[in-house]
Structure 1
Amino acid sequence: MAKKKTSLFECQHCGEQATKWLGKCPNCGSWDSFIELNADQQEVLKQTSKVVNTSSKAQSITQIKQDNVQRFTSNNDEFDLVLGGGIVPGSLTLIGGSPGVGKSTLLLKVAGSIAKSGKKVLYVSGEESAGQIKLRANRLDANHDDVYLLSEIKLEEIQDELLRDNYEVVIIDSIQTIYSSNLTSAPGSVSQVREITFELMRKA
């Protein structure tokens, strides 16, 4: 006898999950925010939970060997200071802030500075065209042959570009505009941000 399929519903505002559809989310109070996750989406959740919920045993901090981390500079002293002394290879860093405070300007300036030190940088924009970014780069003195622009919001297309070339730094502006075709929910929803972040962490 075939095993009965288990349905899983998720609130697109806060990520609350339930085994049946609910009109109102018991966690955040949003109405009509639950959607059913398909089999692929449920598999992503399982894989994510495996990464997060690995069983381990606590040990004394004095017994733990220190990682030998070789940071590299962004050539921006204040930015390096915030990151603890520079950028850690293989790390994923989220830059947050209110709209209009200058996140995109800061990251484009950093992209140009990193490229000047000999590293290949991919700047992915889901909000602006390459022409708009070029105008800002002119103003910021961030033009460099090793800064590559990609105007794209589909995760799978971004992943294909990452496979095409050996980029050392990838900047995505912004995570809330990117979507995966494996999910039916809208860009910026909890499911989309979770899967995209998980995939980017795995790539890093």
Structure 2
Amino acid sequence: MVEKDSAREDSGRDSRPAAKRAYRSTLRAERAAATRARIASAAHELFRQHGFAGTTVAAIAERAGVTAQTVYTGFGSKGAIVSALVAGMEADAGAAQWLERMNEEPDPGRRLEFFAQWTAAFFAASVGALDFLHEAAADPSVVALREEGDRRRRDGVTRVVERIAEQGALAPGLTVEAAVDRAWLLTGLELYLAAGKGCGWSDGEYAAWLGGLLRSQLLR
């Protein structure tokens, strides 16, 4: 009995410090995430006011209420902050919900329309950062971000096209590779900017035009 009681006491003594360490680790992670969010928000405001080149890390740190070293530790560069902003905008645009809608839609034409609507939603949510990306086109972090964005968009297009091909709904003579190329070109940022800034279209008009174009280019 003494041995069992002693074992229970030892177990209790061991678990309390472990629980405290886990709590402190969680608290540190939450504080770090809050600091990153504050830095990203400050950078977003300054980028909009002064542009990418006109915003310094020191100014971001001052606006966020942290040291410049904290900004470098959390992100590493201004380009990396832009990358984090765009990733957050993808979530704000409802990426998960749009993906679910496309996965559940059996009709190929409707699926392409949903893809067009998602494209418009993402660009609309990201429009505040689009100018940063253009202005900072030579920044290595931004170059990498654009390349990663292009790869992710191609991956998304490929999944949509492959499912259409499995249903036998691709236009006659159109290969999966050619269909992916067409869809990838049509869903690029440049056409969205041309539609909105060049033609004065609304996001709804752009999405409707893109959906119809995707259908005519890819489907039977």
Q: Which has the higher contact order (CA 8 A, sep 6+)?
A: 2
Higher-Rg structure is: 2
TM-score, structure 2 as length reference: 0.24
TM-score, structure 1 as length reference: 0.25
Structure with the bigger percentage of strand: 1
